[in-house]
Amino acid sequence: MRRQFEALSWSEWTWQRPFSEEDVRSLLGQLVGLSRRKAIVFETRIKQNKVRYLLGTEEADKIHVQNLIKSHRKIQFSKAPKREAVSVARTIEIKQSHYALQIQSMENMIRSVLALSKAIQTDEEIVVQLILGQGLPPKPEPKQLPNLSARWYQVITNNIPELSENSKKLMRQKLRQATFKCEIRVGVSSRSILRSKEFFASLTSSFRMLETTAQIDLKSIPMHKIQTAQAPWSYPYSLAISDLASFLLLPIGEEKMSGVPAIHPKLKTPPLGYNIGRNTARSLAQTIESQPRPIQITSQSAKKHCMWLGSTGCGKTTAMSHLILSDIRSKNHSVVVIDAKGQLTHEILERTPPEHDQDIVVISPTSKRLVGINPFELTKHGIEPEVIADYLLELFKGLYPDHFGIYSLDILSHSFLTLARTPNATLAMLPSLLTNKHFRQKILKNLKDPIGLESFWNWFELLSEAQRHQMLNPILNKFRQFLLRPQLRAMLGQAQPKISLAEIFKSRKIVLVPLNKAIIGSESAKLIGSLVTSMLWMLILRQSAVEPSKRQSVFVYIDETPSFLGDP
């Protein structure tokens, strides 16, 4: 195998956790069969609270090695950061390397080394460099294992001690595996000699967790050897792939380790074919490369819907805010934000450029200038009354699935349709329509539907007071909760709201709907959020009647979606 590099190329590689010890061994096993290559260099660079994994190869070998590694698991390669020089260097000596190491302690050893990222200072760095030379297949096991640790005088006098059962086991363990000729180097960059010695002592203690009959120690070498990563003329030992897997220091298992991303939230590599550009428009996050690039969802892709799933505190709202602000700055779209906590609304208001102030509309019962919500006014924008009534009925069935029986739903359905066909009607009129006979007659005198609505209301008038009370109590109990709140009553009672949601499909608007349950109440938050989403959906479906070239793009963001739409 060729030794000297002509053009050493470095890449940073990132494994998608979780992965197992067996996965790492399997990867090294694949590299054994890669012939006609120069040495492969693996580096682990430990800085303060950050661990990076670098791969160094001959430029001509780079594509072949990376393709082989990527075919093994979901592994992302990116441009490597600048490699800083170390101030002190050591090489790992493994005496009696014909014995296998204690791989049962592999995870504990890795955890111990990576924990140094917590103790390291900003201007310090630890480097563990593994240079792989020629790969060798497993060797046949001899009938009688030789004692390779015998002293010279024992050999001359033919007084070679017999191997213990444990020694035989360790030798067989290594013989049965593929091996690499290799050298392992360790470097430290620190202004303090004392600190460097402490780091080397910690590393030695960690590496010695792997000791069996084989012994591990450190020996001084020139520091430039780590910076150049030049392969030695003669490799000091060969190690089995199970032993080498330990020195890669990859975070195996599912437990949290210092300096590397935790399992949750799970880091995902981009899908094949995804082109990450330098444009920051509609960017929600960034790659985990040394030189991060924005991860984007294009406007066209966003129209196919996007759902954010993750545990509390993993950054869903933060990523969403990046997209919202990007859409606001683009000046090409209307934006609607339904915010279950109110924090997102405050952030958007603070970070929205002043030139967009005229476009902002806040729909909230706590606002000083209340903006009303009236689903019945959508009839002016081409939505059929029957469609509005159906959506409202489904909305209240979803809000109170256990409270409305057959008669209650029948009454609600006809009441909603009656109000939808009445000019300037509002949801606040519903209790009066059901309980005030004079008001009801005033509304019904303009209806021209003898088979449908008129026959229902004729039946309703024939009911006794006791029957009406029994049927209406479940409905009125819920509606009175909303109408008892003056501000919510003022929102639902506006026949002609200051702004119609239909306007966002005709001109650019930024509509913010903060719904903090602790401020406006849980029931009120659900009602407002569900009303706004239902009205938006009716208007969105109505856009099918508009020519595609004339449609206004509207991006709707709903934080804590199950609060308003139920479980997805």
517/484 same-domain check:
no
Confidence category of residue 266, pLDDT binned at 50, 70, 90:
low
* Mean pLDDT, residues 453-473 taken together: 89
* Helix/strand number for the chain, H first, E second: 22, 15
Structural domain including 321 reads 310-373+512-568
Residue 206, pLDDT > 90, answer yes
Confidence category of residue 225, pLDDT binned at 50, 70, 90:
very high
* Mean pLDDT, residues 496-525 taken together: 88
pLDDT tens by residue, 134-158: 988 888 887 777 776 767 666 677 7
Q: What's 194's domain CATH number?
A: 3.40.462
In a domain, 170, yes or no: no
Residue 119, pLDDT > 50, answer yes
CB 235 within 8 Å of CB 181 = yes
65/17 same-domain check:
yes
Sign of the CA dihedral 379, 385, 391, 392? Answer: positive
* Mean pLDDT, residues 336-344 taken together: 88
Bridge partners of 10, per DSSP, are: 56
Residue 475 CB-density burial (10 A; 0-12 exposed, 13-18 middle, 19+ buried): buried
Interatomic CA distance for residues 69 and 67, integer angstroms: 5
* Mean pLDDT, residues 438-449 taken together: 87
Query: What confidence score (pLDDT) does residue 274 get?
Result: 63
CB 284 within 8 Å of CB 323 = yes
The tally of domains found in the chain comes to 3
Residue 557 CB-density burial (10 A; 0-12 exposed, 13-18 middle, 19+ buried): buried
483/559 same-domain check:
no
521/547 same-domain check:
yes
386/476 same-domain check:
yes
* Percent of the chain residues past pLDDT 70, beyond the cut: 92
479/544 same-domain check:
no
pLDDT tens by residue, 390-432: 999 998 888 887 777 888 889 999 999 999 999 999 999 999 9
Query: What confidence score (pLDDT) does residue 417 get?
Result: 93
353/405 same-domain check:
no
Range from 15-19, 98-102, 559-563 carrying the lowest mean pLDDT: 559-563
Q: How many CA atoms lie within 13 A of 254 on its CB side?
A: 3
123/12 same-domain check:
yes
pLDDT tens by residue, 513-551: 998 888 888 888 888 888 999 999 999 999 888 888 888
Residue 239, pLDDT > 60, answer yes
Confidence category of residue 507, pLDDT binned at 50, 70, 90:
confident
Query: What confidence score (pLDDT) does residue 568 get?
Result: 42
In 3D space, the residue among 519, 515, 518, 508 whose CA is nearest the CA of residue 554 turns out to be 508
Query: What confidence score (pLDDT) does residue 271 get?
Result: 63
422/486 same-domain check:
yes
Domain boundary among 225, 247, 269: 247
DSSP E strands, 6-124: 8-15, 40-47, 50-58, 75-79, 88-95
Helix, strand, coil shares, percent, the chain, to 5: 45, 15, 40
DSSP 8-state symbol, 146? -
127/196 same-domain check:
yes
* Mean pLDDT, residues 263-270 taken together: 64
What is the edge-to-edge ordering of all strands in the sheet holding 360-362? Answer: 360-362, 510-514, 334-339, 554-558
Q: Of the ranges 59-68, 298-307, 442-451, which is most confident? A: 59-68
Query: What confidence score (pLDDT) does residue 33 get?
Result: 80
Confidence category of residue 254, pLDDT binned at 50, 70, 90:
confident
DSSP 8-state symbol, 253? B
Interatomic CA distance for residues 125 and 54, integer angstroms: 14
Amino acid at 478: K
CB 86 within 8 Å of CB 44 = no
233/213 same-domain check:
yes
Query: What confidence score (pLDDT) does residue 331 get?
Result: 76
Tokens 């006809």 -> residue: 414
* Mean pLDDT, residues 156-178 taken together: 81
In a domain, 301, yes or no: no
CB 87 within 8 Å of CB 189 = yes
In 3D space, the residue among 44, 209, 227, 185 whose CA is nearest the CA of residue 120 turns out to be 44
69/122 same-domain check:
yes
Count the neighbouring beta carbons within 10 Å of the beta carbon of residue 398: 14
DSSP 8-state symbol, 379? G
Bridge partners of 238, per DSSP, are: 181
In a domain, 1, yes or no: no
Query: What confidence score (pLDDT) does residue 263 get?
Result: 76
